[in-house]
Structure 1
Amino acid sequence: MVELKEILKMEVIDKAGQEVGKVKEIEFDETRGQIKNVTIDLDECLFSNEKRTVGYDQIRNITDNVLLNIVIDLDH
């Protein structure tokens, strides 16, 4: 089992296999004992500070990285 502090700064990979950024913040639902949302610092460009928040239902798996079950478009 992965601890919450280990998830911070993990690489995030979308459904297309694209590395989209790193975990910036985690919102945890203490009542349910599960992650509610994860905020990602997107890898759009060096000086970008754009973030994207994804819900727990959009996360496929968390192991050595966070795998999403959605595609994140970095070209918008």
Structure 2
Amino acid sequence: MRAKELFGITVLDKNVKSVGKIEDVDFDTETGAITNLVISLNKGIFSNDFIEVEFEKIQTIGDYVLLSEEIEAEEKAEEVTIEVEDEE
């Protein structure tokens, strides 16, 4: 898998709850290895909240990225409820 294929993949914590999507990756300039993933959190349409997760905390990468730990409560995405009124 190429690094650019990671962008936009949904990230799940160890409890399989959606955390956000991969926004960027950090590399070690000497080895070329990925060191961190930058995740855009699921906090709403206009959110710019990001967290960095060390590459060692990734359990698997495939259709989703599964982390080996739960994301702390203050970092977790907030649930958003949208109410839509029917126009009659």
- TM-score, reference length from structure 1: 0.85
Root-mean-square deviation (Å)? 1.7
Match of 1:12 in 2: 11
1:14-59 deviations in Å (ceiling 9; x for gaps): 1011011000010122533421000000002222211010001111
Question: Which structure exhibits the higher relative contact order, with contacts defined as CA atoms closer than 8 Å and separated by 6 or more residues?
Answer: 1
Moved over 3 A (4+): 30-33
Structure 2: how far apart are the matches of 1:25 and 1:59? 15
Please identify which structure carries the higher strand content.
Answer: 1
Larger-Rg structure? 2
The answer for unaligned runs of 5 or more in structure 2 is: 79-88
Q: TM-score, normalised by structure 2?
A: 0.75
What SS does the corresponding residue of 2:25 show, helix, strand or coil?
A: strand
CA distance in 2, matches of 1:58, 1:26: 14
Identity %: 35
Against the structure 1 CA distance between its residues 75 and 6, is the aligned structure 2 distance closer, same or farther, given a 3 Å change threshold? closer
